[in-house]
Amino acid sequence: MTVKYTEDHEYIRIEGTTGIVGITDYAQSQLGDIVFVEVPAVGKQVKKGDETAVVESVKAASEIYAPVSGTVVGVNDKLSSDPALINQDPMGEGWMFQIELSDAAELDGLMDEAAYAEFAK
């Protein structure tokens, strides 16, 4: 299983040609208690860097950007009733959306876990 990271603190976990996207533990800790999540519509076409979702916390609202280009093929419906899942398990139950990759080469521009850990210090 490959996980890549963006400079905006999103992660994408690759499973075949699909990526599962959310925010990192570092990002959720900076945001504080998450009270609302707006996920994209299934079927939405996104380009790498497009604003794709929104997370609102007690501190701020933050845009979530697509780490790669592709089509949204699934969303985490649990977040509408329990946005705190992102605080509790950001890289597990707190994922936001799934994207079918249109260009896997875009993953090469993202950080691996070691590079992200250094970046987030």
Mean pLDDT by 10 residues, the chain (121 residues): 95 96 97 97 97 95 97 97 97 97 96 97 89
Give the residue among 42, 105, 108 at the shortest CA–CA distance from 76.
42
Closest CA to 104 of 42, 45, 16, 21: 16
pLDDT number for residue 1: 76
The two structure tokens encoding residue 98: 């799934």
How many Å separate Cα 38 from the centre of its chain? 12
* pTM of the complete model: 0.96
Q: What pLDDT score does 56 carry?
A: 97
Does domain 2-119 fall into CATH 3.40.50.2300?
no
For the chain, the domains span 2-119
**Per-residue pLDDT at 12:** 98
What pLDDT is recorded for position 36?
Answer: 97
Please report which helix (H) or strand (E) contains residue 56, including its range.
Answer: strand 51-57
